[in-house]
Structure 1
């Protein structure tokens, strides 16, 4: 009979239900009591079989669930029973059948792991409570190394491999093998010394020196290490330290071993001596060139040597040398922008080139980097004082106080006698003052001094040319100006100055009327007339009878006065024209017996003064001053003379 379904289940008869419950109860009792988690195995297929009906006459057999449960219970009881005692290990055998060397390495590894574990526990990490609050200690941190630490035997093997690569010239691989040896035995000076040799051969002298120093600390009296370290010092451009290291070697190093360091130290000392006491830096440059021949192949110039070279270039002082000094300073500043010595070096180069404002900036920056740097303070104050004095002299010149300007420029030259650029400009300024004071020779001397300091100083050459011409040497003036035009065709106004000088040269080859009268070229009419009166009285032929030179001088005086007293003629004369043809101006055999030919060139007032006012009545004869030169009667002055 089929019963109705209740909540999705099929309802069976009471007897069937009772039997099923009895079977389930038997299976539950067969499970072990110590088990708390469900059996992960899948259920038996027998549990899914249909329950037999009540009409079955065959007795019920034991269900598969009970068999499975019993079997599982038996296995569980076996698992809880104590294990049998293991047999003792034979010390001469190993379960992995490893050779003795590998077993030794494993033993060392095990000992190292135990040591690390003890150190970890000693640091207290094992006592740190767990975050979940159960109080269980955290396991110590541990990282199992992938390979065992190298032994002393391994270090020797690495060293042998490094020696092989070193002899073959493969210094990179030699360094790698020596590094492995150092790591295997850091206390060995031999491995570090060998690696230093490989670094040295590879051109890595800094690393080589580090290794040699460490090896020297481990073995201070090792002659081989000391010799190698001394050679490294020499290659790095540190000869004094090299010689100090050589002195530690016992027995002493040979002269051949020491020679490179001795020679280098001599050249550096010579360069320093030349910079201290010589006015030229060329010998210092030569000495430094010789010293640098002993540097290692890849070693850059030592900083100290670079500063010495820059100082030598400053002493040389020419344009190219000053540019080289600046390049050295910039190279040092690229490595360290706060290098006070490099900043002062560049500031001094700018100062020598006349760029004082930029120089002052560099000196101030050097002081900000090192407030106690005395050179920076010294040059800062020097340039400031020089600028003040120079500007004071310029002020006197602009206001026409030329002598005061000369005195001020002279004081400025005493501030820094070694500075070529600025002093050459001050000398040129003082030369201009001397031209204003018409002291031509002093102006020429100052220009020559300025050109000695700076041969390319065109302005000083032009001032010298002007002073030469004004002193009467127009030929040299023309040569100087033409030389400037050839060397610097783009110089503004140089072509015009050459033409003017050539004109002055032409004018200088004729009679100099200003010089004849003893007046300056800017003399006014009054000065010219006064000079003429004085000279005409002195050199009149009647007062110098028998003196043919006096007659010639008197003639020149008359020519000069006639030209310079006439503004039109004077302008033509000053412009360089040939104004007077002597054969036309003074013809007919000169003065002859009297003053024939002079006509109206003589100022009547002057003539009156010549003869003490006795030019009236009977003072002159009636014959006049004819071409024959016959004297008139009576008063002795040529008859027929008339005033213009």
Structure 2
């Protein structure tokens, strides 16, 4: 419905006909009521010599103020127009027309709250004025109050055109979509899109409704990534600058801090929100939840420090159930639980926990380190090396990662040689008695005499002897564990075990006996008569060595 200029019913009959002022914004309905010509307004300052200087303006003078305001409005000098309309309103406070005209100027100047005040008063003075109602509905739309706009349109008879009501209806639809996305959606992106569409229908320069800002913050929290959480904080801070005691804004910022893992500051915000509004349920809920989570995490840490790995895992698992949606805290809980699993040699479980932690926080370096370490300790050194290399690319200044990478590369080399621990069936931290028992058992099971039809039995028996020869000797075992034998190119005798407790440096032997050494192969090569590292085996004189030379 066009909001065309009409003849002011309060205009004296002696006044000339009306003139039309174009809209500043067609969606706002900011045209005003006025006349093409009118008497010049009286001087703004009364003559001091005049005996009637304190006399109130007459209706004719009020009308003159309005007319001058119309001229300024048409020239888009809205500030001056507002000044003249204000004089008219002060002269005739009960004039709905003057209030409505000033509302139009306020709209064009982007002062929507002032416009709403004037238009509401005008509506009270003239409840059934179609033009005032139309302008009031458009102000509501500009301010993002779509339902109030539609309710106002419903009061207009005959009903306004579809074109008039379309912006408010579209705005309400976008907000409905955003609310549904926040309630039922899995991410906040759809809600943000709907809010962006609603924003476009606001008046130019109009403040975004507080409700919409809170919804936007909620959408950012729902997205949960680092940038989105920062955006949620920005929304909350914007609201708190307007009102530092806004409980909903305090809870919004507290939740953002909580999602970022800063539980201490989050608790402070929740407590402040409760102080502002003790009946605000969300503030109480989040305060209790974060306090409970912190308490359970602390209990898990206490058990971890005490070396009670199973008990720590139980505490961390319980803590993970408190708030399954919290990415920041849950990633740390999973990382802590993974460390416990590593201590229990549950490498598969540790790797799984690290992967879950990284799915919640892809930038979590500690979880990447723990995963790489667990991969290596589970025997997957190639994967461990790959993980550490990726970490080093991401953190080139971290000397600790460089050291871990070198160690993993060494362990990869070690993994490609004979695994003496695996041959004997013992763990790498097995003590001397465990190694001895394992050797005796394996030697009996795989002795060639007991496996006459097994062509590989002799080779296995030899490997068992080599393994025991190395692991039963503290110095050889230390060199084997540290990988020193891999770093020294001259270390290649007997597969890691020189028979009979040989302690002479191989390089010295080479200098002593030269070519008499025959071949320098591993057990069973040129030194086959050394005993092959098999304790209790035959110990003949080494070929080319003096009789009785004990290895």
Give the TM-score, by structure 1 length. 0.68
Distance 1:562 1:411 in 2: 48
* Partner residue, 1:395: 302
Given the alignment, which residue of 556, 568, 584 partners 2:521? 584
User: How far does residue 600 in structure 1 lie from its aligned partner after superposition?
Assistant: 6.3
Given the alignment, which residue of 518, 530, 533 partners 1:601? 533
Distance 2:373 2:186 in 1: 31
Whether contact under 8 Å (2:524, 2:532) holds in the other structure is no
For residues 284-322 of structure 1, the C-alpha deviation after alignment (integer angstroms, 9 at most, x for no partner) is 222222221112222222211221122222222222222
User: How far does residue 147 in structure 1 lie from its aligned partner after superposition?
Assistant: 5.4
For residues 83-107 of structure 1, the C-alpha deviation after alignment (integer angstroms, 9 at most, x for no partner) is xxxxxxxxxxxxxxxxxxxxxx9xx
User: How far does residue 150 in structure 1 lie from its aligned partner after superposition?
Assistant: 2.8
* Partner residue, 1:453: 360
For residues 112-155 of structure 1, the C-alpha deviation after alignment (integer angstroms, 9 at most, x for no partner) is xxxxxxxxxxxxxxxxxxxxxxxxxxxxxxx9650543333333
Distance 1:232 1:600 in 2: 98
| Aligned-partner SS, 2:244 | coil
For residues 495-540 of structure 1, the C-alpha deviation after alignment (integer angstroms, 9 at most, x for no partner) is 1111111111111121211112111111111111211211122222
User: How far does residue 451 in structure 1 lie from its aligned partner after superposition?
Assistant: 1.1
Q: 1:261 to 1:546 in 2, by over 3 A?
A: same
1:424 aligns with 2:356: no
Matches within 5 A, 1:495-644: 495-576=402-483, 577-578=485-486, 579-581=491-493, 584-587=521-524, 597=529, 599=531, 601-604=533-536
| Aligned-partner SS, 2:521 | helix
* Partner residue, 1:332: 239
* Partner residue, 1:15: none
Distance 1:144 1:347 in 2: 66
Matches within 5 A, 1:109-258: 145-146=52-53, 148-258=55-165
User: How far does residue 586 in structure 1 lie from its aligned partner after superposition?
Assistant: 2.5
Distance 2:146 2:171 in 1: 6
Matches within 5 A, 1:328-477: 328-477=235-384
Aligned residue pair count: 466
For residues 145-177 of structure 1, the C-alpha deviation after alignment (integer angstroms, 9 at most, x for no partner) is 505433333333333322222222122222222
| Aligned-partner SS, 2:297 | helix
Distance 2:143 2:285 in 1: 32
Whether contact under 8 Å (2:466, 2:532) holds in the other structure is no
Q: Higher mean Cα deviation, 153-162 or 203-212?
A: 153-162
User: How far does residue 325 in structure 1 lie from its aligned partner after superposition?
Assistant: 1.8
User: How far does residue 187 in structure 1 lie from its aligned partner after superposition?
Assistant: 2.3
Whether contact under 8 Å (2:469, 2:535) holds in the other structure is no
1:311 aligns with 2:222: no
Distance 1:389 1:500 in 2: 35
Whether contact under 8 Å (2:530, 2:542) holds in the other structure is no
Distance 2:398 2:230 in 1: 23
For residues 545-575 of structure 1, the C-alpha deviation after alignment (integer angstroms, 9 at most, x for no partner) is 2323333322322221221122221111111
Query: Which structure is richer in relative contact order (CA contacts within 8 A, separation 6 or more)?
Result: 2
Distance 1:543 1:282 in 2: 71
Distance 2:464 2:200 in 1: 77
Distance 2:51 2:425 in 1: 114
| Aligned-partner SS, 1:169 | coil
| Aligned-partner SS, 1:584 | coil
Distance 1:265 1:491 in 2: 53
Q: Higher mean Cα deviation, 533-542 or 453-462?
A: 533-542
Given the alignment, which residue of 470, 474, 478 partners 2:385? 478
Q: Which sections of structure 1, spanning at least 5 residues, go unmatched?
A: 1-104, 106-142, 591-595, 608-619, 628-642
Distance 2:407 2:542 in 1: 44
Distance 2:166 2:380 in 1: 61
For residues 420-464 of structure 1, the C-alpha deviation after alignment (integer angstroms, 9 at most, x for no partner) is 111111111100010011000110111111111111111111111
Distance 1:626 1:167 in 2: 117
RMSD: 2.5
Distance 2:196 2:89 in 1: 39
Q: 1:491 to 1:311 in 2, by over 3 A?
A: farther
Distance 1:517 1:249 in 2: 94
Q: 1:489 to 1:588 in 2, by over 3 A?
A: closer
Distance 2:329 2:323 in 1: 9
Q: 1:401 to 1:194 in 2, by over 3 A?
A: same
* Partner residue, 1:97: none
Q: 1:182 to 1:513 in 2, by over 3 A?
A: same
Distance 2:397 2:187 in 1: 32
Q: Which sections of structure 2, spanning at least 5 residues, go unmatched?
A: 1-41, 43-49, 496-519, 544-549
User: How far does residue 357 in structure 1 lie from its aligned partner after superposition?
Assistant: 1.7
